[in-house]
């Protein structure tokens, strides 16, 4: 029998979409305290990184920092968030896809497109990192990763070089 007082990550994920700021903020704070148990709310937390309220954004990031690997059901939603206009949303979507490793193989086209785009530099760096975490399943992105390996930004070039090694196995 489950503890009725325990927060339900799915219910809190729904509350993150509330029009009421107090409800969103309370949900984000409760999810941040749940650590890995907040995993079912992964995509909602990533979306909340684009909230208009700073407290909601900060609590969503705090939750995501402790989340670990996202559940398989969240992968398709996270793929759609990679191209989000808010760099913080795109960054965390990309980060969670990288944490999913080979399980996020379906994200390779979106991550490659992000890496090749004029997106925020930190998001592009994270896309290179995520492609490396996906490994051999990211082989279709090799040309884009090779271009990024010679980027003027040293961190992006290093992450892309590491991704190439991981893709090559």
pLDDT per residue over 86-96, tens digit each? 999 999 999 99
Read off the pLDDT band of 2 (50, 70, 90). very low
Q: Is residue 97 part of a domain?
A: yes
Domain containing 44: what range?
A: 8-68
- End-to-end, the C-alpha distance of the chain in Å comes to 46
The pLDDT value recorded for residue 41 is 96
The answer to whether residues 61 and 89 belong to one domain is no
Average pLDDT along the chain: 94
**In the structure, what pLDDT confidence band is assigned to residue 119 with cuts at 50, 70 and 90?**
confident
CB neighbour list of residue 155: distance below 8 Å, 6 or more residues apart = 125
Top pLDDT among 62 and 3 is at: 62
**Where is the domain boundary, 68, 92, 110?**
68
| Residue 150 located in a structural domain | yes
Q: Which two tokens stand for residue 151?
A: 């980027």
What is the rounded average pLDDT of the residues 129-136?
98
pLDDT at site 4: 42
Rounded percentage of the chain residues whose pLDDT exceeds 70: 96
Together in a domain, 18 and 42: yes
Q: Do residues 33 and 107 share a domain?
A: no
């Amino acid at each position: 029998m489950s503890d009725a007082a325990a927060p339900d990550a799915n219910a809190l994920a729904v509350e993150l979409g509330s029009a009421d700021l107090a409800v969103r903020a309370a949900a984000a704070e409760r999810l941040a305290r749940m650590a890995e148990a907040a995993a079912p709310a992964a995509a909602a937390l990533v979306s909340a990184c684009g909230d208009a309220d700073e407290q909601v954004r900060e609590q969503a990031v705090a939750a995501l920092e402790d989340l670990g690997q996202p559940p398989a059901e969240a992968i398709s939603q996270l793929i759609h968030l990679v191209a989000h206009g808010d760099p913080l949303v795109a960054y965390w979507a990309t980060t969670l896809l990288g944490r999913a490793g080979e399980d996020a193989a379906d994200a390779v086209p979106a991550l490659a497109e992000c890496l090749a785009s004029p997106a925020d530099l930190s998001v592009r760096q994270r896309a290179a990192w995520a492609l490396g975490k996906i490994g051999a399943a990211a082989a279709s992105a090799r040309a884009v990763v090779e271009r990024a390996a010679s980027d003027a930004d040293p961190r992006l070039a290093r992450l892309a070089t590491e991704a190439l090694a991981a893709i090559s196995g």
